[in-house]
Amino acid sequence: MKVAVVGATGLVGTKMIQVLQERNFPVTELIPVASEKSVGKEITYAGKIYKVVGMQTAIDNKPAVALFSAGGATSLEWAPRFAAAGITVIDNSSAWRMDPDKPLVVPEINASVLTAADKIIANPNCSTIQMVVVLNPLHKRYKITRVVVSTYQSVTGTGVKAVNQLLGERRKAFGELTDYPMAYKYPIDLNVIPQIDVFLDNGYTKEEMKMIKETCKIMQDDSIRVTATTVRIPVMGGHSESVNVEFEKEFELVDIKQILQAAPGVVLVDEPAQQAYPMPMDAHERDEVFVGRLRRDESQPRTLNAWIVSDNLRKGAATNAIQIAEYLAAQKLI
């Protein structure tokens, strides 16, 4: 089928094209789409060269599906136009996630909500995706009542400018560079920044509120209480999360491990005696979500501590979007 990738020259768009090829998605023609300044650039896919086109040209080519990674404002303007042309949009921005009429999908959890009538499908926030992939199978068994999550997020979540800032700071430290772009207000190397996205009136950042709201929508349970602190760190391999989970029912750690070992998309790495636990460098370029450091919270009953890691450009963005497209194709919904 014809597949459009909107934002094809960005970090996530580039990763989408890579993952499409790796997973052998049935692409007969790739339509790379980007801003006007990138129109005419060439992208190689499966041995063929495709030229980047603009939005309207992409619509006129009538792809079956359009993978959007071009920001919220662009999605709000153009996703409805693609949808009106009968094209199924899978959108990676935050624009449609909390729209009650748009499905917010992590395929391992709630792909079954999708229908042929869904022409705009929201891809969740990267940090939310990796957390709910681990939490959902435990919720089914024990019912989660409360989640406290602190994130340690890669600079790749901000984009190429942030990557260049981190690398620029390191090169400057060795006298190799004098100038570099600033994606953040502060240095990121040898530092952590306890702010991701803008602050809201309640003192939380927009990123923190995304995790709070999206978790309940994906897991289809508004009774789950979630609180979050999201932090940017000088890492490029993926996002990490410290998650404290309170259950309604009592659990045994051995059962928790068995559930997670059997959960789709989850890899258990939990051998503290061997110093084996998930790290971003191990999750880099992997599609799975890794979990470890499992231990009972001894300060209160029925509560578990866990450490969750995933490549934010893959499962946190590109891979999840393509898994949605795979489900749609398998169910003949596109």
**Per-residue pLDDT, 33:** 98
pLDDT band at 228 (very low <50, low <70, confident <90, very high): very high
- The string of DSSP letters for 121-185 reads EEPPPHHHHHHHHHHHHHHHHH-EEEEEEEEEE-GGGT-HHHHHHHHHHHHHHTTS-S----SSS
- Residue 309, pLDDT above cutoff 90: yes
**Per-residue pLDDT, 278:** 98
Distance (Å, whole) CA 59 – CA 163:
32
**Per-residue pLDDT, 314:** 97
Amino acid at 15: K
- Residue 122, pLDDT above cutoff 90: yes
Distance (Å, whole) CA 136 – CA 109:
7
Tell me what the mean pLDDT of segment 59-68 comes to: 98
pLDDT band at 307 (very low <50, low <70, confident <90, very high): very high
Look up residue 295 and give its two tokens: 């231990």
Residue 246 vs residues 104, 219, 287: alpha-carbon distances, Å: 24, 15, 27
**Per-residue pLDDT, 120:** 98
Domains of the chain with bracketed CATH:
2-123+317-330 (3.40.50.720), 128-154+192-312 (3.30.360.10), 160-187 (no CATH)
Q: pLDDT per residue over 12-26, tens digit each? A: 999 999 999 999 999
Tell me what the mean pLDDT of segment 203-212 comes to: 98
Q: Which residues pair with residue 85 across a beta bridge?
A: none
Mean residue pLDDT across the chain: 97
How would you classify residue 47: left for phi > 0, otherwise alpha for psi between -120 and 50, otherwise beta? Answer: left
Model pTM score: 0.96
Distance (Å, whole) CA 93 – CA 151:
19
Q: In the chain, what percentage of residues exceed pLDDT 90?
A: 98
Q: In the chain, what percentage of residues exceed pLDDT 70?
A: 100
Q: Say which residue the tokens 């499905």 belong to.
A: 103
Closest to 289 measured CA to CA, from 109, 161, 117? 109
Tell me what the mean pLDDT of segment 32-38 comes to: 94
Q: Which is it for the CA torsion 197, 199, 201, 203, positive or negative?
A: positive
**274 Cβ contact list (under 8 Å, min separation 6):** none
Tell me what the mean pLDDT of segment 166-193 comes to: 95
Q: pLDDT per residue over 322-331, tens digit each? A: 999 999 999 9
pLDDT band at 178 (very low <50, low <70, confident <90, very high): confident
104 within 8 A of 124, measured Cβ to Cβ: yes
Tell me what the mean pLDDT of segment 58-70 comes to: 97
Look up residue 141 and give its two tokens: 């068994």
317 within 8 A of 15, measured Cβ to Cβ: yes
Return the beta strands (E) in the chain as ranges: 2-6, 29-33, 42-45, 48-51, 65-68, 88-91, 120-122, 144-153, 225-232, 239-247, 266-268, 289-296, 303-310
Q: Say which residue the tokens 């990267």 belong to.
A: 126
- Residues with a known catalytic role: 126, 239
Angle (nearest 5°) at CA 22 between 18 and 26: 100
Q: Which is it for the CA torsion 14, 284, 196, 182, positive or negative?
A: negative
- Residue 224, pLDDT above cutoff 90: yes
